[in-house]
Copies of this chain bind each other. A is one copy, B any other.
Amino acid sequence: MVKDTKQAQCGLSVGLVEKKYFTFAEPPGLMQLESGAVLGPVTIAYETYGTLAPAKDNVILVLHALSGDSHAAGYYREGEAKPGWWDVMVGPGKGIDTNKYFVICSNILGSCMGTTGPSAANPKTGKPYGLDFPMVTIGDMVDAQKALLDFMGISRLVSVIGGSIGGMQVLEWSLRYPEMVASAIPLATTPRHSALAISFNEIARQAIMADPNWRRGNYYEGDLPRTGLAVARMIGHVTYLSDEALRRKFGRRLQDKSDFSFNFDADFQVESYLRYQGSKFVDRFDANSFLYITKAADYFDLRARYGQGSLIEAFAGAKASYLVVSYTSDWLYPTYQSKEMVKAMKKNGLDVSFCEIEADCGHDAFLIPNERVTTLVRGFLQRVSVNIGK
């Protein structure tokens, strides 16, 4: 059934797309980070879909989560099997309609998908930074995106949209550059990382750092910390799912066996699935990037950063219209956390729509085709686009 929905929703694709690069903060003009450290040069990998209006007033910024990249929609090559990670949402006639909007998605600072991160070359040594890469925050990620927009001459955004860590960037954008952001759509996210969310991130980091191949982040010329990163990914992956989703998808079904193995092989399909998720991930993601980005998420706290401890205070400077979306089975960033920010937005008289989506697939729900969310986003964008034109 999900497949049919996907088919129906995918419709047309943006077609072939190209990854582009923009470099800034070239010495001596280094980028100032929240930690006080400086960084440069910084390269941002990005993609765009649709056409920029002459007035540059039709721009939507799509922000990705932990393991995402700039490839939100379309295909790099003809005949490629898999489109970008949010192709169900971004394209002609889709929730984010590329016939109307000029959509930008860039890889976040600290990642390993083309944007500068710990695996990039440290100009001081010519070798990968490793742990010499400075700690970056969600705010720093947003500042890097801002540099890209400055370069493109874009000073106003119809909307910023993203889920999970992408949603944190959405919220950060709306408070850091309120004059630029007409609307903001944070999905499946939180105004601050809870102790539970920090716990899972910390355990995943410990798993990476326990791998002897990690060698304090200095592994790029030797064996990679594959097993540590695989365990980290498995931990993350389970937190993106739900009891019900796992029961529906796997239950206690055995892996091509009629009985238990009575050894430590994968007896259950869910075990094989997790092992596969772990091993697949290490082929495409850098362990140090995992450490840096999860730490940035743990540091994320709008109350502390913008409100001196008060979430209401934090949104005092916001000017955007908001569409906040949470999912019933998301236990990583439960609905009550979205409700907290909705309340704070309302207390500030902001224009807020809130919707809790009935979905049994956990935190990952924001990536899964959902007609209701598509309709919500489309309608919300139409409304704010009219307003931005005024």
Interface residue ranges, A against B (CB under 8 Å): 35-37, 131, 134-135, 192-196, 198-200, 202-203, 205-207, 209-212, 227-228, 230-231, 234-235, 238, 241-243, 246-247, 249-252, 260, 262-264, 266-268, 270-271, 274-275, 278, 291, 295, 298-299, 301, 304, 331, 334
Contact = CB atoms under 8 A, between A and B. Distances in A.
A359 B207 CA distance: 31
Q: Which of A135, A210, A270 has the most CB of B within 10 A?
A: A210
A212 B212 contact: yes
Given A262-B134, A274-B202, A194 B246 contact: yes
Nearest to A275: B206
Given A36-B262, A202-B274, 10 more contacts: A35-B262, A37-B262, A131-B264, A195-B246, A195-B268, A200-B238, A203-B238, A252-B304, A264-B291, A331-B331
Q: Which of A207, A230, A246, A266 has the most CB of B within 10 A?
A: A207
A264 B199 contact: no
A203 B243 contact: no
- Total copies of this chain within the assembly: 2
B199 A227 contact: no
A37 B268 CA distance: 21
Contacts of A260: 35, 135, 299
Nearest to A263: B135
Contacts of A195: 243, 246-247, 249-252, 268, 270
Contact of A252 (B198, B203, B228, B331): B198
A33 to B, nearest CB: 9
Given A203-B231, A231-B203, A198 B268 contact: yes
Contact of A243 (B134, B196, B211, B278): B196
A324 to B, nearest CB: 19
Contacts of A205: 264
A85 B269 CA distance: 35
Contacts of A241: 196
Contact of A231 (B131, B198, B231): B231
A251 B334 CA distance: 15
A194 B243 contact: yes
B206 A243 contact: no
Contacts of A235: 203, 235
Given A195-B249, A196-B238, A228 B210 contact: yes
11 contacts: A135-B260, A195-B243, A195-B251, A195-B252, A205-B264, A206-B274, A207-B231, A252-B301, A264-B291, A267-B298, A331-B331
